[in-house]
A and B are shown apart, each in its own frame.
Chain A
Amino acid sequence: MLDVKNLSLSFRMYDGAFRRRDLKVIANLNVSVREGEILAVAGSSGSGKSLLAHAILGVLPKNAILEGEMLWFGKPLDAALQKKLRGHQLALVPQSVTYLDPLMRVGRQISKEKETVKELFGRYHLQDEVARRFPHELSGGMTRRILISAALAGEPKVVIADEPTPGLSPHLAEHAMKHFREIADSGSAVLLITHDIDLAVRFADRIAVFYAGTTVETANASDFADESLLRHPYSRALWRAMPQNGFSPTDGTQPYAGSLPAGCLYAPRCAMRTPECVSAPPEPRDIRGGEVSCLYAT
C-alpha cells in the first residue's frame, strides 16, 4: 500500500554566503509496506530512519531535497496527497518528548474529543489526571504512551512509529506492540522504526535493514533465526552482534552523512569487498523471498 522507490534525500547547506553544498543523508532507499503487516525498519543511530518517516509524511524541513518515488496505493504520494492523508490515513508516532508543545496540556494534544482521550488513556493505563499535565511533568514512559496515543487517536491506514518503545517497561512495550499488531490485523499497516533488532524480530513480519541512509536488505522476520538465512553481510554482522548470538561487534563505523562513499555504502567495512563494490551502488535483487542490495548475496 505504500511503496518507496529509489529515494534519496539531501539537505541544502550554505557555508558562508555563497558556497552551497548538498549533504546527502538518504541514498537509493527502497521499502514497501503491505496491507496487514508490521514492517520494521532497523538501523543504527543517524542512519536516516526518522528522516524517512518525515519524508513519507511530507514534513521535512524546507532545505530538504527529495528524489525518487513514493506511491500510495499505486498513486504518486505528492505534497497535495500527503496533506490530505496526514492526520487521517497517515499517522506518525514521533520519537521524543520534544514533539509535544511544552506549553499545552497533553490531553488537548492527543485529541479534542474527550472520549477518545479517555479510551486511549484506559488502554495505556494512564490516570485521567495525566491529561491535565504539561509535557515536562511526564515521566519517560508516560511521554511514550502519550505520543503513541496522540498518533493513534484517528483511524490511520498506515502508522509510522518512530522508536515507540524506549522508556517503556517490558510489559508496556509488549502492550504497545500488541496495539500495533491489532492495527495491522484490522487491514492497516505499521512501519516500525527501531534500532532494537530483537523487538523487530519478535513483533514484525518483515524487517528492512537500514545502513547509512539506505536499505541493504529486506528480510522476513523469521530469517533472523539463523545467520545463514540472511542475505547481506551487514545484516549478518547485525545478527552476530545480538546478545544471544555472541555479541561480536564489527570493526569501523557507519559513514557520516555527507561523506557517503560512491559505491556500496557498506563496502568500506565489508569482508567480501571487491573493486566492483566501490565503483557503483548495487541494484536491489530478489533472493529467497527477500530483497537485497549486494553483488555477492546468496
Chain B
Amino acid sequence: MSKLKPIAVYIARGITLLLAVSICSFILASASPINPETRYRLSHPGVSDEKVAQMRDYWGIDEPPVQRYLGWLGGILRGDWGKSTSYRQPVLDVIGVRFKTSLALMLTAWTLSGLFGFGIGSLMAVFRGRPLDRIVKRVCLFMCSIPTFWIGLVFLAVFAAMLGWFPFGLAVPAGVPPEQVTLGQRIHHLILPALTLSFLSFSNLALHTREKLIDVYDSDFALFARARGESDTKILFRHGIRNALIPAITMQFGSFAELFGGSVFAENIFSYPGLGAAVSVAGTGATDIPLFLGIVMFSACFIFAGNLIANILTNLIDPRTKEAAR
C-alpha cells in the first residue's frame, strides 16, 4: 500500500507540472503576433469587417484571457483539442495519426540505443583502462556532442546519396497506394531516421552504464566474488548486469524528452511524416496555434509518462525499495 505512495506523489507533481506547462504555452501562444484574425486577414484579402467580427467571436478573441484559457483547458480535458488550421482536421486526430508514425520511429531508435548503449557500456567496463575502453570512451564522448541534425545529414549523404542503400526520406515509397506498401518497405524507410535518432542517446547510456559497471567492479561484493574464484566476465554476468540494469532502464525511460526533441530533427531531415515533422508545420509558416498547443501538451504528457514508468519500474524491480516500502 505505502509502496504506491511515492508514485501517487509523483503523479500529483506531474499533474501540477502539466498545468504549469499548459499555462506557460498558452501565454506564449497568446503573446504571439500572429493570431487567428491576422491570419484570416492575410489569407482572405479584402474581407468584410462583419466577417472578421464573426471570426473574432468564433475564436473568442474578445474574451478575457483567463476565460479563454479555462475554455481551452476544459476542451483539452473533454477531448476537444480544437481544430488544426493547417490540416483542417481535429487536432487530436492529427496528433493520433502522426504519433503512430512517430512511434514506430521512436520505439525502434529507443530499443536500438538501449541495446547498443548497454552493450557497448558493458564492453568498455570489462576492458576498463585498456586501449579499447579508452578509444570507445573518446568516441562516445565525441558523439554526445554531435547534434542530431548533423548526424542525419551525414547519414543522408553517405547511405542514401553516395551508397544508395536507403531511400532519401518519407515513411513509404512515394506514389504507392497505402494498402500496397509492404512491411519491408516501411522498415527500409525507417532505418536511417531511426539510426539517426538512436545515435543521440546510445553514447550517453553507454557512458552511464560504463560508470555503473566500474562501480560494481570496484565494490566490496565484486572483491568477494573474485576472492571466491569468479572471473571478471563471470562477475559481469552474475553481478554486473543485475546492478547496472536498473539505472540503465531508469535512464532510458527518462530520456523520452531527448527522444521527442530528436525526432523533430530526424523527421524533418528525412521528411518522415510523424509528429516531429508536424511540429515544424505548426510552429513555422502556417502557425497553426491549436495544433501547436496540442503537440506541446501531448509531448509533455509523453515525457511525463516516460518518467513515471521509470519511477514505477525502479520501485518494482529494486528489492531494496520494495522491502523498504513494505
Instruction: State the A residues within 8 Å of B (CB).
Output: 54, 57, 59, 61-62, 83, 86-88, 91-92, 94, 96, 98-104, 134, 136-137, 150-151
Task: Assess whether A100 is in contact with B242, with CB atoms less than 8 Å apart.
Answer: no
Per the bound structure, the CA–CA distance linking A282 and B323 in Å amounts to 55
Task: Assess whether B228 is in contact with A136, with CB atoms less than 8 Å apart.
Answer: no
Task: Assess whether A59 is in contact with B129, with CB atoms less than 8 Å apart.
Answer: no
Cross-interface CB contact of B323 among A83, A91, A137, cutoff 8 Å = A137
Name the segment of B61-69, B154-162, B214-222 touching the other chain. Answer: B214-222
Shortest CB-to-CB span from B294 to chain A, Å, is 42
Task: Assess whether B323 is in contact with A54, with CB atoms less than 8 Å apart.
Answer: no
Task: Assess whether B239 is in contact with A104, with CB atoms less than 8 Å apart.
Answer: yes
Task: Assess whether B220 is in contact with A104, with CB atoms less than 8 Å apart.
Answer: no
Number of interface residues of B (CB under 8 A): 22
Task: Assess whether A87 is in contact with B227, with CB atoms less than 8 Å apart.
Answer: yes
* Residue in chain B with minimal CB distance to A136: B320
Task: Assess whether A59 is in contact with B227, with CB atoms less than 8 Å apart.
Answer: yes
Task: Assess whether A102 is in contact with B221, with CB atoms less than 8 Å apart.
Answer: yes
Cross-interface CB contact of A94 among B227, B238, B242, B320, cutoff 8 Å = B227
Given A62-B129, A134-B319, A134-B320: A99 in contact with B229 (beta carbons within 8 A) = no
Question: Which of B230, B239, B319 counts the most A-chain CB atoms under 10 A from its CB?
Answer: B319
Given A61-B218, A62-B129, A87-B230: A102 in contact with B224 (beta carbons within 8 A) = no
Shortest CB-to-CB span from B125 to chain A, Å, is 14
* Residue in chain B with minimal CB distance to A108: B238
Shortest CB-to-CB span from B209 to chain A, Å, is 16
Task: Assess whether A86 is in contact with B226, with CB atoms less than 8 Å apart.
Answer: yes
* Residue in chain A with minimal CB distance to B218: A61
* Residue in chain B with minimal CB distance to A88: B229
* Chain A residues whose C-beta falls within 8 Å of the C-beta of B286 in the assembled complex: none
Q: CB of B280 within 8 A of chain A?
A: no
Task: Assess whether A86 is in contact with B227, with CB atoms less than 8 Å apart.
Answer: yes
* Residue in chain B with minimal CB distance to A85: B229
Shortest CB-to-CB span from A198 to chain B, Å, is 27
